[in-house]
Structure 1
């Protein structure tokens, strides 16, 4: 994959609602942050990420094992839409859908910009190497022990030397 030229930046000046399905799907950088289990504090509404992943998440590839049928297998799996992007408080700050929805550009490490699907991992944005367990391996009452801060933050990533 090659770096995109400014002519190829289909997301520039466009609303999420105006993207076709292929464009929409290509915005996902495959970081896996949205596939981490999140907990909501009932009293404050605060969202807490954990290092526990959805049971369909493959931590080695940072992909869903059954993306086309994920909603049939995981009841609370959300298929993102432009409307949900503007309403979901738990989307990571690095999420391309969130960034484009807020009128921002994609960062250098996004595969559509870098031309390299590995750049999201090399920049430390993805969950690669950071998932502690699958939700099938951790009892619900132990999730609180898996709360982590990094998925809700934008890391100070630097371009790797090439």
Structure 2
């Protein structure tokens, strides 16, 4: 008897239920960082400035249900919008699935733990500046949100507990 493949390998983003869609979010918080777009080149610059609704510890929205009312320019991801968005980080599960790729080892749907996204160095935990304290966002341009952390690329080494050392 073969195990059924996980839903993200079986379904397109359009075919997913709302619960499946929502569970794709790994809770990294990278999409909740402010980004700057150069008017001349159209290039995106990531900042470490967090949206005022981002909880810097959990890396989740403090008021997800009402985020559009409280932050009008917050983007609600949908499969249709996803095709036009160029600023999602390369680690984003929505982006990975849309590109036909699998979820990485640290994604909570794979690992079974919401903490692995933090352990792998993918989340924004401990790396952000509050929106209201940031001043000029251009002073907070960083490259890491647009990159894969080295720890996130390979599964963690698990020590064999049966042998010392």
Same fold (TM over 0.5): yes
Verify: 1:33 aligned to 2:30, yes or no: yes
Q: Which residue of 2 aligns with 1:153?
A: 147
- Say how many residue pairs are matched: 155
Q: How big is the shift at 1:8? A: 5.6
Q: Which residue of 2 aligns with 1:104?
A: 101
CA contact (8 A) 1:122 1:160 kept: no
CA contact (8 A) 1:38 1:49 kept: yes
Q: Which residue of 2 aligns with 1:144?
A: 138
Q: Which residue of 2 aligns with 1:62?
A: 59
Q: Which residue of 1 aligns with 2:47?
A: 50
Matched position secondary structure for 2:106: coil
Specify every segment of 5 or more residues in structure 1 that has no aligned partner in the other structure, as ranges: none
Matched position secondary structure for 2:46: strand
Q: Which residue of 1 aligns with 2:162?
A: none
Q: Which residue of 1 aligns with 2:117?
A: 120
Matched position secondary structure for 1:51: strand
Q: How big is the shift at 1:161? A: 3.6
CA contact (8 A) 1:39 1:48 kept: yes
1:77-121 deviation per Cα after TM superposition (whole angstroms, max 9, x unaligned): 011000111110000000000000111110111000011110000
1:32-68 deviation per Cα after TM superposition (whole angstroms, max 9, x unaligned): 0000000000000000110000001110111111000
Q: Which residue of 2 aligns with 1:91?
A: 88
Q: How big is the shift at 1:21? A: 0.3
Q: Which runs of 4+ in 1 moved over 6 A?
A: none
Q: How big is the shift at 1:7? A: 2.4
Task: State the alpha-carbon separation in 1 of the partners of residues 4 and 117 from structure 2.
Answer: 22
Q: Which residue of 2 aligns with 1:15?
A: 12
Specify every segment of 5 or more residues in structure 2 that has no aligned partner in the other structure, as ranges: 159-165
Q: How big is the shift at 1:6? A: 5.2
